[in-house]
Amino acid sequence: MKYFEDVEVGAVARFGAYPVTREEVVAFAGKYDPQPFHLSDEAAARTHFGRLSASGWHTCAMVMSMVVDNLRADRQAGLGSPGIDELRWIKPVYPGDTLACETEVLEKRRSEKRPEMGIFRSRMTVRNQDGAVVMTFVSTGLVSTRPAASGNVEAHPS
């Protein structure tokens, strides 16, 4: 299990390979972002997108799916997130794209109010299959600190 003490400032992780499908783009847009350029090839062709494109919010959801898969695979003691900053949709995401994530830890600190929890900030960069950046944001993550050792040995924070 990876805990707060294992988070290293400057560490970079790359993960994910999310295939974007036309069916998912239209289904998401139909329910959550029903703008014409997310629903119709013809409507999208009349915009700067040129063709059907995924909602930025759908891109966020696809990234979240990859983040959770990565948390499970790496067995991280994550406790969620109070939010993100600086969200930018740089380039459109199209059906047929495959998205991947890169995250860099920018800073970390132990919570003053909850010493059993650490806080870290990371920059997320999302790229398509050609390496083009399609989305960026800075996230704040919450993670458990390493549990104190049991027994007669006194545990000291590092």
| 22 phi, psi to nearest 5 deg | -60, -45
CB–CB of 36/24 below 8 Å?
A: no
Question: What crossing angle do the helices spanning 22-32 and 56-74 adopt, rounded to 10°?
Answer: 110
pTM: 0.87
Task: Name the average pLDDT for the chain.
Answer: 92
CA distance 147 to 151: 12
* Architecture of the 4-144 domain: Roll (3.10)
What is the pLDDT, as a whole number, of residue 24?
A: 97
DSSP 8-class letter at 152 = S
Confidence of residue 78 (pLDDT cuts 50, 70, 90): confident
Cα separations (Å) of 27 from 61, 108, 126? 13, 38, 22
CA distance 99 to 128: 5
- Each domain of the chain, given as residue ranges in start order, spans 4-144
